[in-house]
Homo-oligomer: A and B are copies of this chain.
Amino acid sequence: MSRVTTTPRDSAFVRACRGLPVPHTPVWFMRQAGRSLPEYRKIREGIGMLDSCRRPDLVTEITLQPVRRHGVDAAILFSDIVVPLAAAGVDLDIVPGTGPVISAPLRSRAGLAQLDGPGDVGFVAEAVRLLLAELGPTPLIGFAGAPFTLASYLIEGGPSRTYLRTKAMMYGEPDLWHDLCARLAEITLAFLKVQAAAGVSAVQLFDSWAGALSEADYRRFVLPHSASVLAGLAEFDIPRIHFGVGTSVLLGAMGEAAADVVGVDWRTPLTRATELIGPDRAVQGNLDPAVLFAPWEAIEVEALRVLAEGRSAPGHVFNLGHGVLPETDPGKLTRLVDLIHRS
């Protein structure tokens, strides 16, 4: 769409993920398709979040909106991390202003029965096919939530600040915890395989809340399951991005989980992140999304700092350190893309 490449595989985005030379640093934004865009708010009017994720026509249009508007180097499939859970049989809703709410939180082994195994997500394959036809040489990134973050929603029943029931299960019933995460890993892998088979050029595994854990607990309770998802995609030979928030102490481990690219939030400079992640993986990030609320001059200083720090890595995909905040001025995002492409 916006960049001059012949195929998604030759794009600056895919090349940067693989640590290959690029004509410019590629840039996209987590939650680029979302509430910061007036055209998104308009198209979503009166349509629930889960419903909109299940309609290939809507998924296609919403996914394309930020590509058209900002000229980013990659599209990311519009979806939600609980979509495969709903498909697997879990009774849940996404409540505006709250997030996912699970009808019957999973607190015991009996609750595992809620997860029938991967469900039908044919609508996702259909959306990917529609998107590939529209996107041309712009790569499409597939999307899924990681087992820990999914488990935390299932166990807590919704968003949490403390993860106390999740951690109580980890420490108190480790066998149940591992069985649950193994099942979630299966569901997640199946969801990503559908996207990969349909032709996405990369995938990002969102373990949004893994930063609630120490490295020791992450390695013991989480890494094996996330690694089984990412390793399970090896046959597709597409870059695998692994991202979480507040993961300063987890970056090395998150790379080891069969990732090709590690997403970094704004707390860790990319120079330091690169030391922690090692020379075999690219990095993605890491402008603080809150910086976009400062005047342009301050945004430019911070963005150029991130760009300079990213040069220490074998490959760098410019992004924010977390999702675009809904109140963000989309004009600043467009200007930021332009700055990154020119710099």
Contact with B along A268-292 (1 / 0, CB 8 A): 1100000000000000000011110
The answer, yes or no, to whether A130 is at the interface (CB within 8 Å) is: no
Q: How far is the CA of A291 from the CA of B294 in the complex (A)?
A: 39
Is A295 an interface residue when CB atoms closer than 8 A count as contact? yes
Closest to A216 in B: B269
* A172-B298, A246-B246 known; A165-B211 Cβ under 8 A: no
Q: Any chain B CB within 8 A of the CB of A236?
A: no
Interface check A24, CB cutoff 8 A: no
Q: Does A116 contact B (CB under 8 A)?
A: no
Measured CA separation A36–B295 after assembly (Å): 44
Evaluate contact between A171 and B216: CB separation under 8 angstroms.
Answer: no
Query: Closest residue of chain B to A163, judged by CB?
Result: B290
Chain A 314-343 near chain B by CB (<8 Å), digits 1 or 0: 000000000001010000000000000000
Q: A267 within 8 Å of B by Cβ? A: yes
Q: How far is the CB of A203 from chain B (nearest CB, A)?
A: 26
- Bound together, the chains give a CA A291 to CA B165 distance in angstroms of 9
Closest CB in chain B relative to A65 CB, distance in Å: 22
The answer, yes or no, to whether A129 is at the interface (CB within 8 Å) is no
Alpha-carbon separation in the docked complex, A269 to B218 (Å): 13
CB distance from A105 to the nearest CB of B (A): 14
Whether A171 pairs with B249 at a CB distance below 8 angstroms is no
CA distance A302 to B170 in the complex (A): 12
Bound-complex Cα distance A216 to B170 (A):
35
A246: nearest residue on chain B (CB-CB)? B246
Within 8 A of B (CB), among A154-181: 162-168, 170-172
| A167 to B291 alpha-carbon distance, docked (Å) | 7
| A32 touches B (CB below 8 Å) | no
In the complex, what residue of chain B is closest to A265 when comparing beta carbons?
B214
A290 touches B214 (CB 8 A): no
| Distance between A152 CB and nearest chain B CB, rounded to angstroms | 11
Instruction: Answer whether residue A248 sits at the interface, using C-beta atoms and an 8 A cutoff.
Output: yes
Given the contacts A248-B248, A249-B248, A249-B268, A171 and B214 also touching, CB distance less than 8 Å: no
Find out whether the CB atom of A167 lies under 8 angstroms from the CB atom of B249: no
Q: Which residues of A contact B (CB under 8 A)?
A: 162-168, 170-172, 211, 213-216, 246, 248-249, 266-269, 288-291, 293-295, 298-299, 302, 325, 327
**What are 5 contact pairs spanning A and B, CB under 8 A?**
A163-B290, A166-B290, A168-B290, A248-B249, A248-B267
Closest A-B pairs by Cβ, 9 of them = A171-B294, A168-B293, A167-B290, A171-B298, A172-B294, A164-B290, A248-B248, A172-B295, A164-B293
